[in-house]
Amino acid sequence: MNKKALCWINETIRPAHEASISVLDHGLLYGDGVFEGLRFYHGKTFMLEAHLERLQQSAQAIELELPYSLAQIGSAIIELIERYPEDDGYLRLVVTRGQGSLGIDPGKCVRPGLFIIADELTVMDIRDASQGVGLHVAHIRRTPARCLDPAIKSLNYLNNILARIEANRAGMDEALMLNLDDYVSEGSVDNIFIISAGTLKTPPLGDGLLAGITRAVVIDVAQEIGIRCEQTSLKVDDLKQAEECFLTGTGAELIPVRCIDEHEFGVPPSPLTPRIMRAFRQRIDTYCTT
């Protein structure tokens, strides 16, 4: 447990290990709630407005009223970052349905709860992300949009966790999840890109993936530096035939892929991935220092 971790809860800040919620909170009992993961650099949250907008959209999608305005949440984040002992870190913003009686009926809950944790984050247990990560093609399929809209960042991550368990058993760093039609969707906590014949490619949102904020930034910065980008459906064979592959996410940032099961990519990768990584880092620095 990281003793530096802090938690904003009930309008106060305390060490995260001292914060608590009720065992009758429906976020705990039934995964009834939504969340956002955010990064801060140089004491400023990256893409804060986009994250808060997505939080509100997720909450509206499950008819969950935010207990504070977006402006109040933004102020709480600033206060928390000011108290955190490092200039860089990770934020987990969680909104739960709140305390209620046993049973899934959300109407039995009195008031939604909200807390924000500031801490370090290790998305994958790797020593040097620049050397690339290994992906395992999971047998567990991504929950289809007809069952749960992937745009909703809900507290129920069991589908993703089961895929990560598969990857752990295979001795790999991350899971690659397919949809029910055998098209590539995403990783357990990240979006995926390939570079093929000089073109950056990533699955379209219709293939069952989260509309990642980092994903959108990477598409934007790649186009800025003259790299063409296509959002197109991909099979596992398309990934294996590509020259380069990498993952993106708030927690992951941008991590090259070393292999997909037995298939090896070149490490270090060819020049395009490092170019995109440098442009991405420049975007962060510009955003968080101005």
Same topology, domains 6-119 and 129-288? Answer is no
- Band of pLDDT at residue 99, cut at 50, 70 and 90: very high
Percent of the chain topping pLDDT 70:
95
> Which residues does 225 contact at the CB level (< 8 Å), separation at least 6?
275, 276, 279
Number of C-beta neighbours around residue 38 at 10 A: 24
193 DSSP assignment? E
User: Environment class of residue 69 by beta-carbon count within 10 Å: exposed (0-12), middle (13-18) or buried (19+)?
Assistant: exposed
- Confidence at residue 243, expressed as pLDDT on a 0 to 100 scale: 92
Residues 244, 218: Cα–Cα separation, whole Å: 15
Instruction: Quickly count: other Cβ atoms within 10 Å of residue 262's Cβ.
Output: 6
pLDDT at 122: 73
pLDDT digits (tens, 9 = 90+) for 57-70: 999 999 999 999 99
The confidence band for 271, taking pLDDT boundaries of 50, 70 and 90, is confident
pLDDT digits (tens, 9 = 90+) for 117-162: 999 987 666 556 667 899 999 999 999 999 999 999 999 999 999 9
Q: Using CA of residue 85, residue 87, residue 92, residue 93, what is the dihedral sign?
A: positive
Comparing C-alpha atoms, which of 214, 199, 288, 274 is closest to residue 249? 214
| 23 Cβ neighbours under 8 A, 6+ residues apart | 29
Please check the confidence at residue 263 and state whether its pLDDT lies above 60: yes
Q: Quick one: which of 263, 211, 216 has its CA closest to 242?
A: 263
State both tokens at 14: 């305390």
Where does 6-119 sit in CATH, by number? 3.30.470.10
Partners of 134 in beta bridges: 259
Q: Which two tokens stand for residue 201?
A: 């490619």
- The single residue listed with the structure tokens 């892929």 is 257
Percent of the chain with pLDDT over 90: 90
Q: Which residues sit opposite 36 in a β-bridge?
A: 93
Per DSSP, the three-state class of 192 is strand
Rounded to an integer, the average pLDDT of 7-25 is 96
Please enumerate in sequence order all residues whose Cβ is within 8 A of that of 78, keeping only pairs 6 or more positions apart, or say none: none
* Statement: residue 268 has pLDDT above 60: no
Residue 23: alpha-carbon gap to chain centroid: 26
- Kindly state the average pLDDT of the residues 28-56: 98
Say which residue, 244 or 122, is predicted with more confidence: 244
Residue 226 pLDDT class (50, 70, 90 cuts): very high
pTM over 0.85, yes/no: yes
Residues 6+ apart with CB under 8 A from 65: 59, 112
| Domain spans of the chain, in order of start | 6-119, 129-288
Quick: pLDDT tens for 151-194.
999 999 999 999 999 999 999 999 999 999 999 999 999 999 99
The arithmetic mean of pLDDT across residues 99-113, rounded, is: 96
Q: What is the mean pLDDT of the chain?
A: 94
Handedness of CA 84, 88, 94, 95 (dihedral sign): positive
Whole-angstrom Cα distance, residue 47 to residue 213? 8
The letter for the amino acid at 205 is L
d(CA 123, CA 144): 24
Whether the per-residue pLDDT at 22 is higher than 80: the answer is yes
CA 35 – CA 55 distance, rounded (Å): 7
Q: What is the CA radius of gyration of the chain?
A: 19
Top CATH class, 129-288: alpha beta
